[in-house]
Amino acid sequence: MPKILLVDDDAACVGFLRRLLADCGHEVAAFQSGHEATAEGAAFEPDLLITDWLLKDHMDGAAIVASLRERYPALPAIIISGLPKESLRVALERLGNAVLVEKPIDFDHLVGKIEGVLSGTVQAAHRHGDNRSGA
Amino acid sequence: MLTDRVKILLVDDEARNLDALEAILASPDYDLVRADSADQALLALLRKDFAALVLDIRMPGVSGLELARIVKQRKRTEHVPILFLTAHLLDEGDVLQGYGAGAVDYLSKPVNPDILRSKIAVFVDLFCKTRALAGANAALQNEIGERQKAQEALHVANEALETRVQERTADLTATNNALRQSEERLRDAHDSLRLAQRAGGGGVWDWNVVTGETYVSPEFRDIYGFKSGEPFSWEKWLAAVHPDEREHIAAARRTLLESGEEWNQEFRIRHPLRGERWFASIGRLTRDVQGRPLRFSGISLDITERKRTERELAHYRDRLEQLVGEQTRKLQQSMDQLRRSERLASVGTLATGIAHEINNPLNAIFLATQYGLRGLQPVDYVETLECIKREAERAGQIVKNLLRFTREEQTSKSPSDVNDMVQHVAGLIQSYLPVENFKLDLDLSSALPPVAMNTTEIEQVVVNLIKNAVEAGGGAVRVAIRTAAGNGQVTLSVADTGPGIPPEHQLHIFDPFFTTKRTSGGTGLGLSLCHTIVTEHGGRIYLQSEVGRGSTFTIEFPAAVLQSAEKSGDGAATAESGVPRSESDYVCQKSC
């Protein structure tokens, strides 16, 4: 079963998303702070990172991705954010191997993205890939 | 002096001759002095004045002739008459010598007593007359001296008088000149007065209250429409005054004559040719020491034109005031709109953040409903619904905050806590400004007195300052908000670590439409509005900035004070605790 590391400082979001993902058969480790996620999430050996972009402890999505990829360089990431996608496009391109799912999250759409990323059909793995095709 | 006995000197070397002479001349009027030698005679002559000298020609030693010569040579005795006595009747030579020596007369011995007495009497008479003449002469000399002195004194007095006459003449000449000049000036003044009357449409009057004589100038007659030949009377004058004002003016004139001094009236008259005219009458009543009226004089001016101008002016002024009022209202509306627009512009800047913030509760609600609808597991509906409710409230609060920030102007100020306001702005900003590496530090003083403020406006000021700092700072910005109290003021400062503001921009930073970010949509009104709002709160805002070291905007508010603390019984305790009882207890310090 794919292992998903979930990070969001919004408790309600983390709670329901964790339950929905678990119902779909995923093994989920959920955190509400970037520091906890990077400190404890590495041992979880995730196949996929789903993280919020802006977090209250000022460790944002980019920092979390960078930190985890020190150990798992090929770790794909799905960024969830309430910000408009235009404002994050450049940051995501710089990050590479990451796709954006906008809040509020349509769970079926998210599931599609997860499957795509994990099966490699969604080309988010390349630095210069066109992320907009996955949006 | 004349009553003194006349002295007669008898000189003979023989005593019996002397005895005989004494016997002959014995008289209560005569003082007979005897001398038996020339020496004795000379001695006597030195001591006394003699009327006559009876001298024996032949004497041993110094003879009578020699003595006579000595006597005649001496100034003091030269005039004493000498009567020689000679024994030799026919000795012509002796007689001649005697006359040569100064003798006046001679007698031959034996002497005929009657002749001697008569001759002596002649000498005595001569002596007395001479002496009297000398006295008269001396008196005359004295008189002459006195007269000379008097004349000198008269001369001096005369000179003084002369000088005074000259001075007086000079004075009179000067006075005369002055008088002539005065007359010329008076004539000039008279001409000027005439000109002034003509130019000003006025005429003068001068009424001698005592005699009843009244002078009115030709101009006076002209402006009232009186004929030039007609005698003037005050009744006629009053009749010229407009009927509506006649009673009032007559009363004013009565009051003036009874107790007044200054006359200053404006009234209408009816001119036989020019119709109704407006007049100003300005004059003065002079009184004697007892306060009785003496003279009443002054000028009447036709002020019809002035009145019309005044009316027009008043009309224009009213119109102008009306226009200004309208413009002010329009301006105020524009200002209110401008402020709202500026706040809405801030909202535009914050829109992304606001969307992000609303998306979070929406996301939670969305996920919760999707979870609930799936029915994959026994769902805890209560928990799900509570979550939905909570998140909906959160979204509602965000919308409410946003609307509060953008609502219509509230003009009232109420005592508020600056720290609460800062906290609210911090909440708004921190979540809505999606900027990487933006950090907001708060350093709030725990004991702040309240400030009378319009919270919406002041929040706008602080949001503006933070927004400016963020926009100027690019990526990494640290903003610190500090509050402090002291000297009856509350100070709020917004400091950033941005690039700073160059001195040439600092000068214009609060000017309307001054902006350095025109291309990125700055209106140039943000800081100008901040300045206006702070000033309206009785405070001041100023900037300290250094290029490369950041900028600090400081706002000083007057602290609100308790006004009625001492009026009520528990006022002191309330004032000490610093807790306001109601908003109405506060007034803005500046307005006190």
The CA distance from B260 to B245, in Å, is 20
| pLDDT confidence tier of residue B517, bands split at 50, 70 and 90 | low
pLDDT at B342: 73
Q: Which of B359, B376, B390 is the closest to A103 by Cβ? A: B359
Asked if B389 reaches chain A (Cβ–Cβ under 8 Å), the answer is no
| pLDDT confidence tier of residue B526, bands split at 50, 70 and 90 | confident
Tokens of B64: 């009578």
Asked if A128 reaches chain B (Cβ–Cβ under 8 Å), the answer is no
Residue B489: is its pLDDT beyond 80?
yes
Higher pLDDT, B518 or B29: B29
CA distance B495 to chain A (A): 21
Question: CA-nearest residue of chain A to B369?
Answer: A16
The DSSP result for B178-243, as a single string, is HHHHHHHHHHHHHHHHHHHHHHHTEEEEEEETTT--EEE-HHHHHHHT--SSSPP-HHHHHHHB-H
Higher pLDDT, A84 or B392: B392
Higher pLDDT, B229 or B96: B229
Higher pLDDT, B337 or B55: B55
- Per DSSP, B109 falls in state S
Residue B444: is its pLDDT beyond 80?
yes
The 3-state secondary structure of A30-90, one letter per residue = EECCHHHHHHHHHHHCCCEEEEECCCCCCCCHHHHHHHHHCCCCCCCEEEEECCCHHHHHH
Higher pLDDT, B307 or A133: B307
The verdict on a CB contact (< 8 Å) between A105 and B390 is no
Write down the CATH number for the domain with range B176-302. 3.30.450.20
pLDDT-wise least confident of B188-192, B206-210, B583-587: B583-587
Tell me: cis bond preceding A104? Omega within 30 of 0 counts. yes
The verdict on a CB contact (< 8 Å) between B371 and A16 is yes
Tokens of B509: 């930073």
The CA distance from B165 to B185, in Å, is 29
Percent of chain B residues past pLDDT 70, beyond the cut: 85
pLDDT at B482: 95
Residue pair B414/B452 in contact (Cβ under 8 Å)? The answer is yes
The verdict on a CB contact (< 8 Å) between B370 and A107 is yes
Residue pair B444/B499 in contact (Cβ under 8 Å)? The answer is no
The ipTM, to two decimals, is 0.76
Q: What is the mean pLDDT of residues B508-525?
A: 65
Q: Which of B355, B371, B376 is the closest to A82 by Cβ? A: B355
Q: Is B409 exposed, middle or buried (0-12, 13-18, 19+ CB in 10 A)?
A: middle
Query: What is the helix (H) or strand (E) element at residue A98, kind and residue range?
Result: strand A98-102
Asked if A133 reaches chain B (Cβ–Cβ under 8 Å), the answer is no
pLDDT at B474: 67
pLDDT at A75: 93
Residue B101: is its pLDDT beyond 90?
no
Residue pair B120/B105 in contact (Cβ under 8 Å)? The answer is no
| pLDDT confidence tier of residue B591, bands split at 50, 70 and 90 | very low
Q: What is the mean pLDDT of residues B486-512?
A: 86
pLDDT at B492: 95
Residue B520: is its pLDDT beyond 60?
no
Write down the CATH number for the domain with range B6-155. 3.40.50.2300
pLDDT at A131: 40
CA distance A130 to chain B (A): 24
pLDDT at B341: 72
pLDDT at B566: 40
Asked if B199 reaches chain A (Cβ–Cβ under 8 Å), the answer is no
- Look over chain A and give the mean of its residue pLDDT values, rounded to a whole number: 84
Tokens of B40: 């004795």
pLDDT at B432: 61
pLDDT tens for B110-141 read 888 898 899 888 888 888 888 888 889 999 99
Tokens of B481: 């908000």
Chain B neighbours among A 24-53 (CB < 8 Å)? none
Asked if A94 reaches chain B (Cβ–Cβ under 8 Å), the answer is no
Asked if A73 reaches chain B (Cβ–Cβ under 8 Å), the answer is no
Give CATH superfamily name and number for B411-585.
Answer: Histidine kinase-like ATPase, C-terminal domain (3.30.565.10)
Residue B387: is its pLDDT beyond 70?
yes
Q: What is the mean pLDDT of residues B63-78?
A: 85
Classified as helix, coil or strand, B282 is strand
| pLDDT confidence tier of residue A126, bands split at 50, 70 and 90 | very low
Asked if A104 reaches chain B (Cβ–Cβ under 8 Å), the answer is yes
Chain A hits for B357, Cβ within 8 Å: 82
pLDDT at B577: 41
Q: Which of A13, A58, A82 is the closest to B356 by Cβ? A: A82
The verdict on a CB contact (< 8 Å) between A10 and B352 is no
Residues contacting residue B154 through CB under 8 Å, at least 6 positions apart = none
Asked if B364 reaches chain A (Cβ–Cβ under 8 Å), the answer is yes
Question: CA-nearest residue of chain B to A62?
Answer: B436
Asked if A106 reaches chain B (Cβ–Cβ under 8 Å), the answer is yes
Tokens of A133: 């095709």
- Look over chain B and give the mean of its residue pLDDT values, rounded to a whole number: 82
Q: What is the mean pLDDT of residues B89-93?
A: 62
Higher pLDDT, A120 or B431: A120
CA distance A106 to chain B (A): 8
Query: What is the helix (H) or strand (E) element at residue B540, kind and residue range?
Result: strand B540-546
Chain A hits for B366, Cβ within 8 Å: 104-106
Mutate to test the interface with A, among B360, B391, B441, B477 (most CBs of A within 10 A): B360
Residue B59: is its pLDDT beyond 60?
yes
Give which of A90, A67, A81, A78 is closest to A114, Cα–Cα: A78
Q: Quickly count helices (H) and strands (E) in chain B.
A: 15, 19
pLDDT tens for B237-276 read 999 999 999 999 999 999 999 999 999 999 999 999 999 9
pLDDT at A60: 84
Give which of B577, B524, B533, B534 is closest to B558, Cα–Cα: B534
The CA distance from A5 to A37, in Å, is 8
Residue B156: is its pLDDT beyond 70?
yes
Chain A hits for B360, Cβ within 8 Å: 10, 13, 82, 103
Higher pLDDT, B483 or B397: B483
The verdict on a CB contact (< 8 Å) between A83 and B363 is no
Higher pLDDT, B471 or A38: A38
Tell me: cis bond preceding B218? Omega within 30 of 0 counts. no
| pLDDT confidence tier of residue B364, bands split at 50, 70 and 90 | confident
Paired strand residues for B34:
B10
Integer Rg of chain A from CA: 13
Q: Which of A13, A17, A54 is the closest to B356 by Cβ? A: A54
pLDDT at B251: 94
Asked if A66 reaches chain B (Cβ–Cβ under 8 Å), the answer is no
Residues contacting residue A92 through CB under 8 Å, at least 6 positions apart = A79, A98, A99, A100, A131
Per-residue CA distances from B56 to B21, B98, B116, B295 (Å)? 11, 11, 13, 110
Residue A77: is its pLDDT beyond 90?
yes
CA end-to-end distance (rounded Å), chain B: 117
Q: What are residue B295's phi and psi, to 5 degrees?
A: -135, 145
Residue B495: is its pLDDT beyond 70?
yes
The model carries a pTM of: 0.39
pLDDT tens for B543-555 read 999 888 889 999 9
pLDDT at A112: 93
